[in-house]
Amino acid sequence: MSLPVMRTVSELRATTAAWRREGASIGIVPTMGALHEGHLSLVRAALARTDRVIVTLFVNPKQFNSAADLAAYPRTEMDDAAKLAPLGAHVLYAPYGEEIYGPGFATTVSVGGVSEGLCGAHRPGHFDGVATVVTKLFLQGGADFAFFGEKDFQQLHVVRRLARDLDIPIEIVGCPTVRESDGLALSSRNARLSAAERRIAPKLAETLFDTAARLAEGAPLAATLGTARVALEAGGFDRVEYLELRDEATLAPVGQAERPARLLVAAWLGETRLIDNVKVTPVGLA
């Protein structure tokens, strides 16, 4: 099946206007390319829920903290298009840079509250970059539904907040994290792990699931998180950047798992920063 690739807002808008005239609902799956099974699961969710699906591919310079990280980000548009076509996605929107950040571009969408702490504390400006590009993609695409992975749980909250606060008429759909058979959450960063690091990496999910189960049974928060940090470092991680329990619905810090919560982690393995999160449902509420 062929997949039309569009580079400009005007091409995209002409297409979505025609879809609207047919009465079709529209889904959008924002990506930065280097597609893996996690992205493809979002596309499948979008195809199941909407009549027409736009997959976007834009490596957004504003959300990278270092020029080296941006330069190292894989650009694999041909491979990405080949993965998308058989699924039945309707358009690949891979805009020219100036369609997103035109001459004199001077606007930043900055989401307070949910952007603070966690990744927001360790990657200054990252969520401003995400919020700005996602807002543009929503306005350019005019979709009814947008699909994001729970793997980037804080990002999901940021996007929900901006859509609500800016009255963008789009429903944000969170989709479950896709994992390797050993539990490692899929991420384009996994390709950067050496063979030795790749053997250590599943320890992150394993520790997260064990810790979540203990917290769900009422184990004390500080001591349980302390034990988990020690386990990660003993298991080969170089540094745990954060390991925190947050409210599932608001992302506010919580002192004990007494209501549905998320356990979120970021940890470094050599030069690679991995993030993951799992739901914590207190046993009385399960």
Q: Could you give the residue numbers annotated as active site?
A: 39
Contacting range for ligand PAF; rule: CB under 6 A; set: 29-37, 68-76, 113-121, 228-236: 29-37
Report d(CA 253, CA 143) in Å as an integer. 32
Among the residue ranges 13-21, 25-33, 76-84, 108-116, the one whose residues contact ligand PAF (CB under 6 A): 25-33
Closest CA to 196 of 240, 241, 233, 236: 236
Nearest-angstrom CA–CA distance, 187 and 100 = 24
> Amino acid identity of 25?
S
Cβ proximity to ligand PAF, 53 vs 257, nearer residue: 53
Out of 15, 16, 41, 63, which residue is the one contacting ligand PAF (CB under 6 A)? 63
Q: What gap in Å lies between CA 158 and CA 143, rounded to an integer?
A: 18
Contacting residue, 31, 115, 207, 211, with ligand PAF by CB under 6 A = 31
Single out the residue of 164, 160, 200, 163 nearest to residue 182, CA to CA: 200
Q: Are 156 and 47 in contact (CB under 8 A)?
A: no
Task: Return the residue of 41, 60, 115, 211 that touches ligand PAF, per CB under 6 A.
Answer: 60
Q: Is 35 in the site for ligand PAF (CB under 6 A)?
A: no
Pairwise CA distance, residues 11 & 4, whole Å: 11
Residues 127-146 as x/- pattern, contact with ligand PAF by CB under 6 A: ---x--xx------------
Give whichever of 60 and 224 is closer to ligand PAF, judged by the CB atom.
60
Residue type, 192: R
Q: Which residues bind ligand PAF (CB under 6 A)?
A: 30-32, 60, 63, 130, 133-134, 152, 155
